Homo-oligomer: A and B are copies of this chain.
Amino acid sequence: MTADEFKAQIARTYGTPSLVIDLDVVDRNIARVQALCDSVGIANRPHIKTHKSPVLAKLQQEAGAKGITCQKLGEAEVMAEGGLDDIFISYNILGEDKTGRLGALLGRVNVMVAADNPTTVAGLPHAAGIAGRDLPVLVECDTGRKRAGVETPGEAVALALDIASKPGLRFQGFMFYAPEDAVETTQSFLDTALAGIRANGLDAETVSNGGTPNLANLGRIKGITEHRAGTSIFNDRMMMRVGAAELEDCALTILSTVVSRAGPERGILDAGSKTLTSDTGGDLDGFGLILEHPQARIARFAEEHGFLDLAACNDRPKVGDILTIVPNHVCVVVNMQDRYVTVRGREIVGELPIPARGMLR
């Protein structure tokens, strides 16, 4: 079967725009990250925000992952329902509705959470009380990304002591999402914070770092015990740009049909911002890489229209052509659809649901 025939077969069976993952590449990506973690003795705790599928999370666990990471409580609930039982929710969980749900979850599976402020910490005993067991809490620390995370080791120690003082909470350690160029800053932060808690009779069982690009730094920060990589299971244009992946490591593509060619230098894809999203991947040119026409630019979007700029293309697609797109940012693209089409090479395997899609709460 030719590549064109295979694309036509997928389009005929599932329609376009379709989210296609090659399980051979997925398997390879999972094995590669596990081997990297094993080689430096760091536990692998992949972030499921990328794939949002308990089936894929179990593949990661079977390959050797210690547990998984979720960003939202709703994702964790779906993963627990799907049979995953060691879950880190790397997020401040706030509000009685959420701490109540967290308590129910903690009653069923092993859960750790992160916190970077006393308000979050003050709410968490509610969850432990419901579960009737201790809730392990990591202090989220920032070393340059300016997202969440306390900014100084002193604040980290103070929050660790606050956690340790609360009924039902156990201070579990520290969480970083360190910028890739912040190895030394992070080491220094961690060393100071560890000294601070040890002077107060505490210790850190878990020190977690994250990010697919940070796999390149694996083992360089002494004291890290776990790593959370998400995108590495599929990879995307962002990962290619930072050198964290090659094209052959990209497991996920969008199949999209050219639906209009109203002008000689332009065309329209049936994948718009409701499929590919307006995520620029930071500063990538255009909204995806079209494998058949790498000179074509996905210049802008309407909701269901991808505007193709074909000015730089010698060989231009025609109406009805099916194109293969590597998206800028795979995590947000997965979140647009309810299922994957799964393939191995040029063989269709079937469909795989994405039950944690849209689990924002």
Residues of A within 8 A of B (CB): 11-18, 49, 71-72, 91-92, 94-98, 116-117, 119-120, 142, 146-151, 257, 259-263, 266, 268, 270-271, 273-275, 277-280, 302-305, 307, 318-320, 331-332, 335-338, 357-358, 360-361
Nearest chain-B residue to A118 (Cβ)?
Answer: B319
User: Are the CB atoms of A15 and B98 closer together than 8 Å?
Assistant: yes
Interface SS of chain A: loop
Inter-chain CA distance A358–B358, complex, in Å, is 10
User: Are the CB atoms of A117 and B260 closer together than 8 Å?
Assistant: yes
User: Are the CB atoms of A15 and B305 closer together than 8 Å?
Assistant: no
Nearest chain-B residue to A337 (Cβ)?
Answer: B358
User: Are the CB atoms of A150 and B262 closer together than 8 Å?
Assistant: yes
Nearest chain-B residue to A261 (Cβ)?
Answer: B117
Q: Tell me which residues across on chain B come within 8 A of A275, comparing CB atoms.
A: 360
User: Are the CB atoms of B274 and A360 closer together than 8 Å?
Assistant: yes
Inter-chain CA distance A43–B26, complex, in Å, is 51
User: Are the CB atoms of B278 and A94 closer together than 8 Å?
Assistant: no
User: Are the CB atoms of A263 and B146 closer together than 8 Å?
Assistant: yes
Instruction: Determine which of B92, B94, B304, B320 lies in contact with A95 in the assembled complex, contact meaning CB atoms within 8 Å.
Output: B320
User: Are the CB atoms of B361 and A18 closer together than 8 Å?
Assistant: yes
A340, chain B: closest CB distance, angstroms:
13
Instruction: Determine which of B16, B95, B336 lies in contact with A12 in the assembled complex, contact meaning CB atoms within 8 Å.
Output: B95
A221, chain B: closest CB distance, angstroms:
20
User: Are the CB atoms of A262 and B361 closer together than 8 Å?
Assistant: no
Q: Tell me which residues across on chain B come within 8 A of A92, comparing CB atoms.
A: 259-260, 268, 319
List 19 contacting pairs A-B, 8 Å CB cutoff, sorted by A.
A12-B96, A13-B97, A15-B97, A15-B98, A18-B361, A71-B304, A95-B257, A116-B262, A119-B318, A119-B319, A120-B319, A142-B262, A146-B262, A147-B268, A148-B259, A148-B260, A151-B263, A273-B277, A303-B332
A157, chain B: closest CB distance, angstroms:
15
Inter-chain CA distance A271–B360, complex, in Å, is 8
Q: Tell me which residues across on chain B come within 8 A of A94, comparing CB atoms.
A: 257, 259, 270, 319-320
User: Are the CB atoms of B95 and A262 closer together than 8 Å?
Assistant: no
Nearest chain-B residue to A267 (Cβ)?
Answer: B148
Inter-chain CA distance A266–B149, complex, in Å, is 12
User: Are the CB atoms of A11 and B274 closer together than 8 Å?
Assistant: no
Instruction: Determine which of B15, B95, B146, B271 lies in contact with A11 in the assembled complex, contact meaning CB atoms within 8 Å.
Output: B95
A284, chain B: closest CB distance, angstroms:
12
Nearest chain-B residue to A71 (Cβ)?
Answer: B304
